Amino acid sequence: MTVQTPPLHAAARALLADPLTNRGTAFTEAERDRLGLHGLLPPHVSTLATQIDRRRRALEALPDDFHRYAFLRELQDTNEVLFQALVQSDLPRMLPLVYTPTVGEGCQRFSDIWRRPRGLFLSWPNRGRIADILADPALDRVKVIVVSDGERILGLGDQGAGGMGIPIGKLALYTACAGLHPAEVLPILLDVGTDNAALRDDPLYVGWRHSRVRGPDYDAFVESFVSAVADRWPRILLQWEDFAGENAQALLARYRDRLATFNDDIQGTAATATGTLLSAVARTGAALSDQRILLCGAGAAGTGIATLLVRAMMADGLRPAEARARIWAVDRDGLVMAGQNGLSPAQRDFARDPAEIAAWSLAAPGRATLHEVAAAVAPTVLIGTSGRPGMFDRRLVELIADGCARPIIFPLSNPISHCEAHPADLIAWSGGRAIVGTGSPFGVPGVAQVNNVYIFPGVGLGALVAGAPRVTDGMFLAAARALGTMSSDDGLLPPVSDLRRVAVDVAVAVAAAAAAEFALPPVDRQAILRSMWTAVY
């Protein structure tokens, strides 16, 4: 004889299984009576503060940061409020565990620790079902999507379906810093295969076991995704993450005028670097337009930084050509030169005339290395987005420091294993005079972590509250300028503990820029604050 489960018990179990409704031991006695939770929970009624203490104790007992990352991911899939309350209770401690640098290993080992569904995997075999998948009523509240295809995860390369760790991590920070409700954010992985043979051969790999779909088929797949998203949520904010350079630039160019969308690796990185550079330049007493900027790494991130710096210098009065002339871009083949094969449109904007280096002392005529460019132009700013460790060696730093009293050096590549130099070495090699910012956290006093979390949550929040139909370069410049005014007494950037305030300040600036560009009603600070969710039961 089959025993039917009483409907109340089924509803109670569903309540505890849903991370958006589960409160665990924090359900009150009255709630347990009403919802049929007695017996499913231990009798003690906890406060949120007690739950945070319990989870923090368990977290710190784990052997390393990867296990802490996996612990926090499981907590997020169990109880969203508790997860966010724990993260927000100590952002300096939790940020490296939720996102960089630990998220890199989280992506590499995503299949090993996969337990419960989060977000959507839109795979090539299901390309005809995208609209049906998005139609789920549980997604009605979504306002922000972060999407990746997993091809260029940090500096780690193709991680296939494991790239889902990036959208999940970014959206956790949207909630922690910008106050987006967990039901309003949606991570998506476009699974078009992977060219990482080790992943395809791994019996635990959760993704589609096929080489990457490319060319027109890839473009058509992405088009069907974007069209379905725009139909489902006409006012959505869509953020692209960790696409390979060529696709990253092409997709941004293709869709930026169709909906509110941006690429954080290009535009978010650019705004964070520009804002931090403005803060650093202010410390030298000079102007941004007086700087000579040497850029090591001319991919999507590097040229994105250069493009926004040009816009910032133009706002200070330089003509476009004058601003571009202040930037020297070096890639794997040396100084980017006009006439080189295979240059992207963004790289062509910063390509130098071969006649310019004709009189330089070069080991190989017509090809200037990073060190040779530094010797010839005496840069005041050195920025690294190369993903190549050791690029900023002692000889290069001493060369730059010899010609500049306060050199500004930003090795921005992630994760730590791909950073161009250790910040302590940069400080030592420059005789303690360098102003240093890094992409990953190193724990070196006085060194800023030039982390996109200072920008993208506020950009998204400001665009949403303003009702901006597009996300523009002007909005990112407004975000960068706002960040550039927020330096603390002991650093180029505000402390990580202030990230929620930073997001509000950036959002106010972005909303004002959007209102000016699109003739929208003005948005004040109180409207921003009223829109933000707080992690409480």
| Domain segments of the chain as ranges | 7-88, 96-243, 268-450, 454-530
* Residue 404 falls in which region: left (phi positive, over 0), alpha (psi -120 to 50) or beta: beta
Q: Quick one: CA torsion of 315, 317, 320, 325, rounded to 10 degrees?
A: -110
- The reported pTM is 0.94
State CA 206 to chain mean position distance.
Answer: 24
CA dist., res. 313 & res. 322, Å (int): 9
Query: What are the two backbone dihedrals, phi and then psi, of residue 463, each rounded to the nearest 5 degrees?
Result: -65, -40
pLDDT (0 to 100) of residue 2: 53
- Which residue bears the tokens 């300040």? 505
pLDDT (0 to 100) of residue 5: 52
pLDDT (0 to 100) of residue 9: 84
The highest-level CATH class for domain 96-243 is alpha beta
Given this chain, do its domains 96-243 and 268-450 carry the same CATH topology?
yes
CATH topology classification for 268-450: Rossmann fold (3.40.50)
Helix axes 165-178, 456-466, angle to 10 degrees: 70
pLDDT (0 to 100) of residue 186: 98
* Maximum Cα–Cα distance across the chain: 94
Give average pLDDT by consecutive 10-residue segment, the chain, 537 residues: 63 96 97 95 97 98 98 98 98 95 95 96 98 98 98 93 98 98 98 98 97 98 98 98 92 97 96 98 95 96 96 96 97 94 93 94 93 97 95 97 96 92 97 95 91 97 98 98 90 95 98 98 97 97
CA dist., res. 294 & res. 329, Å (int): 6
> How would you label 318-349 residue by residue, b for 16+ Cβ within 10 Å and e otherwise?
beeeebbbbbbbbbeebbbbeebeebbebbeb
pLDDT (0 to 100) of residue 172: 98
Give the residue numbers marked as catalytic: 99, 170
pLDDT (0 to 100) of residue 1: 46
Query: Quick one: DSSP state of residue 359?
Result: T
What pairing do the DSSP bridges indicate for beta strands 435-438 and 448-449?
parallel
pLDDT (0 to 100) of residue 415: 84
CA dist., res. 344 & res. 417, Å (int): 27
CATH topology classification for 7-88: Hemocyanin, N-terminal domain (1.20.1370)
